[in-house]
A and B are shown apart, each in its own frame.
Chain A
Amino acid sequence: MKRIYTIEDACIGCHLCEVGCITEHSQSKDPVRAFLHEPVRSISRCTVEELDGGVISLSTTCRHCDEPDCLRACISGAIQKNDAGVVRIDTEQCVGCWSCVMACPYGAVQRNLAKKKANKCDLCPDRKSPACVDACPNRALVYKEGSQK
């Protein structure tokens, strides 16, 4: 299956992947509306981590593991892996227990505190390639076929 790969050395720490992700998961899918005018701003499923004031940065996101620790820890069955291999959270079913946050060794599940639901990368089901990848100006995020390990 296609997964998102991070090229750490190419990351410039611009956070545009996060902007792309928040916009894609907003109601309007418009960045200005998503950030300023929607009642609840969606949260980014990818996270730019920075060190030394941004000299080192990288974007972390879900690996859609072959054997997802988040799925195994989920107490409500909200996390399922579909036939294509994509691991998604059904937010209706999620109870916000954070077991997935406890289990994911990549730290790739976010707590959406406003909604008390866990969020994670869904590989943008409505797009050909994920919004974070399309938003990256330096191809530090690549969407390609490859195994998990």
Chain B
Amino acid sequence: MNYVIIGNSVAAVGAIRGIRGVDDKGNITVISRERHIAYGRPLISYLLGGLITEKRMAYLPEDFYEKNRVNLLLDAEVVGVDSTRKQVKLAAGDTIGYDRLLVATGGDPFVPPIEGLAGKERIFTFTTWDDAEKLKGIAADMERVVVIGGGLIGLKAAEGIHLLGKQITIVELADRILSAAFDRPAGRVVAKKMKANGIDVITEDTVVRIEGEGARISGVTLKSGDYISCDTVVVAIGVRPAAGFLKGSTVDVNRGIVVNDTMETSVKGIYAAGDVAEASDFFSGQKNPMPIWPDAYIQGDVAGTAMAGGKKTYGGGLAMNSIELFKVPTISMGITNPLEPKEFDILTYQDMENYQYRKIVLQDNRLVGAVLVGQVDRAGIFSGLIREKVDVTPFKEQLLAPDFGIIHLTKEIRNTLFAPYGKVA
């Protein structure tokens, strides 16, 4: 059996382990357009900020590829897939045959057509190790930076650049930063902390024009008419599934590559996992791209297992993010900001002075979402309660308590779902 995996990040790693859990013998080939072995992609902001060295970017133990007998092709871009001949075509012209194919190419940063952007030198995106290297490379004569987009990538880029001692302004179109994960109070708590550390956060506004002569940037003009002087711009509006090379193939691509609950695409033998895939959402069952690190691993594992003939099914994507900004840790998961609040039971605790905020979202006495700012210990218990759809009625009053723990669950829940407590297996 010949397994070919396009992409070499966390979904690919999950898939390699998934395959090897079932099939010890088959050939695994991993093709990556990047020149690095698998690295902790979210660590690029730590690398940029000088918090870690290059050595610590390695995501895997040194012997991983050898131990799992993986044939690794780096710096190689796949430009097409021929599902009839079962071949992938590389940019260099050669083809590689497969029996089972996994597309785990992740996302490409989205850069909208902003006036004045074309031809400017110091426009960056921030999703790869090389992006961090480029920014670091010009750090010596960088002074003021505008980051377009206050989502996860924008905030992490801003943090890294701030650590280099540069002035930053974040411009976010929504009414708060991290709008996908946070509600207004959580966004405000974190924005307050960022402002206290000298980062300007502008919300409900956007960059309409990049100003400057020739390739040089002198500033940006906002929709409100405000002007911010800067020499560098980081575009962090979001990522789009990197599935462009499947154009002309028979694989069904919507926003991402549409997959079933074993991560198989519309074409038998071809699978997709990670940010490039469009899999079921945990709550609605609707297909959605979900660019979440742990989810990419799980999808990769499910895909790899299925490719090798094993059985695992995907339980649906559950959004979750852990991000610490200026020593204020935050964890958010599930539905944090429901569109129809009346259908939900929402509990909150707020202490803005001390950067503390907790929000619990319930639906039909089931936990469906949580936002924790400040005190985040044991947050994972909430993710367990969400996934297991536990009726929280007996301990609903305790959910907001900062010391909420296993002991607050009923003994029955502890002995069953949260086994093996007291159980002699």
A residues 69-117 in Cβ contact with B at 8 Å: 69-70, 72-73, 75-77, 80, 92-93, 95-107, 109-111
Given contacts A93-B56, A105-B380, A107-B377, contact A72 B294 (CB under 8 A): yes
Task: Judge if A128 is at the interface, Cβ distance under 8 Å.
Answer: no
Question: Are A102 and B43 within 8 A (Cβ)?
Answer: no
Task: Judge if A60 is at the interface, Cβ distance under 8 Å.
Answer: yes
Question: Are A76 and B56 within 8 A (Cβ)?
Answer: yes
Residues in A whose Cβ lies below 8 Å from that of B294: 69, 72-73, 99, 103
Residues in A whose Cβ lies below 8 Å from that of B421: 5-6, 8, 58
Contact partner of A106 (CB less than 8 A), chosen from B38, B324, B376, B380, is B380
Taking chain A's interface residues, is the majority helix, strand, or loop, or is none over half, making it mixed?
mixed
Residues in B whose Cβ lies below 8 Å from that of A56: 407
Question: Are A102 and B425 within 8 A (Cβ)?
Answer: no
Task: Judge if A44 is at the interface, Cβ distance under 8 Å.
Answer: no
A79–B303 Cα distance when bound, in Å, is 22
Residues in B whose Cβ lies below 8 Å from that of A51: 407-408
Chain A nearest CB: distance from B340 CB in Å? 26
Given contacts A69-B380, A73-B293, A75-B42, contact A106 B407 (CB under 8 A): no
Contact partner of B381 (CB less than 8 A), chosen from A96, A107, A110, is A107
Question: Are A105 and B383 within 8 A (Cβ)?
Answer: yes
Question: Are A101 and B42 within 8 A (Cβ)?
Answer: no
Contact partner of A105 (CB less than 8 A), chosen from B40, B384, B424, is B384
Chain B nearest CB: distance from A102 CB in Å? 4
Given contacts A47-B405, A73-B293, contact A111 B56 (CB under 8 A): no
Question: Are A8 and B56 within 8 A (Cβ)?
Answer: no
Given contacts A49-B405, A95-B52, A102-B331, contact A146 B322 (CB under 8 A): no
Residues in B whose Cβ lies below 8 Å from that of A6: 420-422
Residues in A whose Cβ lies below 8 Å from that of B423: 5
Task: Judge if B51 is at the interface, Cβ distance under 8 Å.
Answer: yes
Task: Judge if A25 is at the interface, Cβ distance under 8 Å.
Answer: no
Interface size class of B (residues with CB under 8 A): 35 or more
Task: Judge if B314 is at the interface, Cβ distance under 8 Å.
Answer: no
Residues in B whose Cβ lies below 8 Å from that of A72: 14, 294, 297-298, 301
Q: Mark B393-425, 1 if CB is under 8 A from A, else 0.
A: 000000000000111100100100011111111
Interchain Cβ contacts within 8 Å, total number: 143
Residues in B whose Cβ lies below 8 Å from that of A3: 420
A93–B52 Cα distance when bound, in Å, is 9
A57–B422 Cα distance when bound, in Å, is 12
A107–B414 Cα distance when bound, in Å, is 12
Contact partner of B60 (CB less than 8 A), chosen from A7, A77, A106, A142, is A77
Residues in A whose Cβ lies below 8 Å from that of B379: 98, 101-102, 107
Residues in A whose Cβ lies below 8 Å from that of B58: 77
Task: Judge if B243 is at the interface, Cβ distance under 8 Å.
Answer: no
Task: Judge if A45 is at the interface, Cβ distance under 8 Å.
Answer: no
A58–B380 Cα distance when bound, in Å, is 18
Task: Judge if A9 is at the interface, Cβ distance under 8 Å.
Answer: yes
A59–B259 Cα distance when bound, in Å, is 42
Q: Which residue of A lies closest to B14 (CB)?
A: A72
Task: Judge if A149 is at the interface, Cβ distance under 8 Å.
Answer: yes
Q: Mark B33-52, 1 if CB is under 8 A from A, else 0.
A: 00000101111001000011
Residues in A whose Cβ lies below 8 Å from that of B14: 72
A98–B336 Cα distance when bound, in Å, is 19
Give the most central of A107, A111, A144, A149: most B CB within 10 Å. A107
Residues in B whose Cβ lies below 8 Å from that of A8: 411, 414, 421-422
Given contacts A72-B14, A102-B331, A106-B418, contact A5 B405 (CB under 8 A): no
A142–B421 Cα distance when bound, in Å, is 11
Task: Judge if B61 is at the interface, Cβ distance under 8 Å.
Answer: yes
Given contacts A73-B293, A80-B61, A107-B405, contact A101 B376 (CB under 8 A): yes
A111–B33 Cα distance when bound, in Å, is 36
Task: Judge if A148 is at the interface, Cβ distance under 8 Å.
Answer: yes
A98–B421 Cα distance when bound, in Å, is 25
Contact partner of A107 (CB less than 8 A), chosen from B298, B329, B378, is B378
Task: Judge if B387 is at the interface, Cβ distance under 8 Å.
Answer: yes
Q: Mark A48-73, 1 if CB is under 8 A from B, else 0.
A: 01110000111010010001011011
Chain B nearest CB: distance from A69 CB in Å? 7
Task: Judge if B59 is at the interface, Cβ distance under 8 Å.
Answer: yes
A112–B405 Cα distance when bound, in Å, is 18
Extra 5 A-B pairs, beta carbons < 8 Å, given A93-B56, A95-B43, A98-B376:
A51-B408, A75-B42, A92-B56, A99-B322, A109-B380
The 7 tightest CB contacts between A and B, nearest first, are: A105-B384, A107-B378, A146-B425, A104-B380, A49-B407, A77-B59, A73-B294
Report which B residues bind A (CB closer than 8 A).
Answer: 14, 38, 40-43, 46, 51-52, 56, 58-61, 293-294, 297-298, 301, 320-324, 329, 331, 333, 376-381, 383-385, 387-388, 405-408, 411, 414, 418-425
A-B contact pairs, 24 of them (CB 8 A): A5-B420, A5-B421, A8-B421, A9-B422, A49-B407, A51-B408, A58-B406, A63-B420, A73-B320, A75-B40, A75-B293, A76-B43, A80-B61, A98-B329, A99-B293, A100-B380, A102-B383, A104-B380, A105-B384, A109-B380, A110-B377, A111-B377, A142-B424, A147-B425
